[in-house]
């Protein structure tokens, strides 16, 4: 026990000997949570659109103004013909084309029905899909407004007949994230990313750096057990990870007003279980790396797998079967789900117990592998 205590003190002294480390503990989570949630978003805005208005009528002008006033679109141009608009799209000047026919007003007045054309640059599939949905919503809203105005011009008897016709209204209820704020969805994921880097990646790179410098050989020739050596390397990063987690929870509340709808203690406890698992992965990486170049390659490889197949950006349920199989043993996936349940759903520790149990099993497997694969070389 005294040996372990001595080694831990040595690691802390070595860690804080670099004045950059204490600053990073505060600055790293601050920058990640201050910048990334605003920059990373699947909400598509500022879509450039051309409106080809063949009619130049009152209603078509109103529809054009309604599109231009939307926060999702920027009215790029109103070319005279469709060919010019297509040329703009080919040259990357516009993303969408809304074509309004010359008979737009007449069709609305006579038959209360008209058709507009929409062309979408779908090279970016997400932007194309969301952009077309946005424009359809605007056109539908415009149609409802026109229908209401035309009904008011009818005689009272005809108006009453139309108003009494059966209709179905959809009243959506947005649960757990009523503002539909994508930042609320992403912030728990960024917290998991912070823990992954600080408690998994940094210990791995630190050990490999000691290998290159030869300082680790001084410990390898001593009778210190492998478990004590690994614990001494990890415990300081566990402590740093917990401090960073507390800072992150505080920043999320101060900056975004985001506080766990469940229990904040459950958030910290879940983070501890995850730290145990991801730190084991870091030791495994260091065990199979002799140089920083090798370690950096493995780190990038595992970071991509952990994040992209961990449900941070897209739901795991929507991934192919082989990707879901990888996600089933991905600790990043389980903590991301857990944090979102605790933050947004108001779940309790009992509700996320299955995720924590899976994390615990992964932690045992990874740390067992880390101890077994570590070779003391004198």
Query: In this structure, what is the dihedral angle of CA atoms 26, 28, 34, 38, given to the nearest 10 degrees?
Result: -170
pLDDT truncated to tens, each residue of the chain (378 aa)? 677 777 777 777 777 776 777 777 788 888 888 888 887 766 778 899 999 998 888 888 988 999 999 888 999 999 999 999 999 888 888 999 999 888 887 777 666 667 888 888 877 777 788 888 888 888 888 877 877 776 666 677 665 555 554 444 555 666 778 777 788 888 999 999 999 988 888 888 888 887 887 777 766 666 677 787 788 878 888 888 899 999 999 999 999 999 998 889 999 999 999 999 999 999 899 888 888 889 989 999 999 999 999 988 888 888 899 999 999 999 999 999 999 999 988 888 998 999 999 999 999 999 899 888 877 655
CA 177 to the chain's CA centroid: 14
Q: How far is CA 246 from its chain centroid? A: 20
The three-state secondary structure class of 126 is helix
**Which residues are paired to 120 by β-bridges?**
96
214 Rama class: left (phi>0) / alpha (psi -120 to 50) / beta: left
Place of tokens 């101060």: 254
Rounded alpha-carbon distances, angstroms, from residue 356 to 33, 72, 159: 24, 40, 61
User: Helix, strand, or coil here: 71?
Assistant: coil
Per the CB < 8 A criterion, the answer to whether 50 and 97 are in contact is yes
**Bridge partners of residue 119, in order along the sequence:** 97
235 CB neighbour count, 10 Å cutoff = 16
Which residues, at least 6 apart from 328, have a Cβ–Cβ distance to it below 8 Å? none
The two structure tokens encoding residue 146: 């026109």
Report the DSSP pairing between strands 96-100 and 117-120: antiparallel
- Per-residue exposure over 32-54, b if at least 16 CB sit within 10 Å of its own CB, e if not: bbeebbeeeeeebeebbbbbbbe
CB atoms within 10 A of CB 147: 13
- Contact status, residue 104 vs residue 57, Cβ threshold 8 Å: yes
Place of tokens 């799209």: 89
- Give the pLDDT of residue 57: 85
d(CA 347, CA 350): 8
Supply the Cα-derived Rg of the chain in whole angstroms. Answer: 29
Give the pair of three-digit tokens for residue 345: 């759903």
Helix intervals (H) in 116-172: 125-152, 156-163
The alpha carbon dihedral of 236, 238, 242, 244 has a sign of positive
């Amino acid at each position: 026990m005294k040996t372990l205590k001595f080694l831990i003190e040595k690691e802390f002294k070595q860690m804080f000997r670099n004045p950059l480390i204490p600053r990073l503990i505060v600055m790293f989570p601050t920058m990640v949570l201050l910048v990334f949630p605003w920059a990373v978003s699947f909400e598509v805005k500022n879509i450039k659109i051309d409106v080809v208005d063949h009619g130049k009528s009152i209603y078509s002008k109103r529809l054009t103004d309604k599109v231009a006033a939307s926060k999702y679109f920027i009215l790029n141009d109103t070319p005279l013909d469709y060919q010019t608009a297509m040329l703009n799209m080919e040259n990357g000047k516009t993303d969408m084309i809304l074509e309004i026919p010359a008979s737009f007003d007449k069709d609305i007045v006579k038959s209360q029905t008209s058709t507009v054309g929409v062309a979408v640059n779908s090279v970016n599939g997400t932007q194309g899909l969301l952009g077309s949905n946005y424009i359809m919503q605007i056109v539908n809203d415009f149609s409802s407004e026109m229908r209401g105005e035309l009904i008011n011009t009818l005689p009272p008897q005809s108006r009453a007949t139309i108003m009494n016709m059966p209709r179905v209204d959809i009243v959506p209820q947005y649960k757990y994230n009523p503002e539909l704020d994508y930042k609320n969805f992403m912030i728990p994921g960024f917290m998991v990313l912070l823990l992954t880097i600080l408690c998994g990646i940094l210990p791995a790179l630190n050990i490999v750096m000691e290998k290159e410098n030869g300082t680790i050989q001084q410990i390898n020739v001593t009778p210190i057990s492998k478990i004590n050596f690994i614990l001494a390397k990890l415990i300081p990063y566990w402590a740093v990870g917990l401090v960073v987690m507390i800072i992150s929870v505080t920043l999320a509340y101060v900056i975004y007003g985001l506080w766990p709808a469940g229990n904040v203690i459950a958030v910290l406890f879940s983070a501890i279980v995850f730290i145990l698992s991801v730190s084991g992965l870091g030791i495994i990486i260091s065990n199979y790396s002799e140089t920083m170049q090798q370690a950096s390659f493995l780190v990038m490889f595992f970071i991509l797998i952990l994040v992209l197949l961990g449900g941070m950006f897209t739901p795991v349920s929507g991934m192919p079967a082989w990707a879901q199989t990888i996600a089933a043993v991905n600790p990043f996936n389980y903590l991301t789900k857990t944090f979102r349940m605790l933050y947004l759903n108001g779940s309790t520790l009992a509700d996320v117990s299955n995720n924590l149990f899976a994390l615990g099993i992964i932690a045992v497997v990874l740390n067992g592998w880390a101890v077994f694969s570590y070779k003391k070389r004198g």
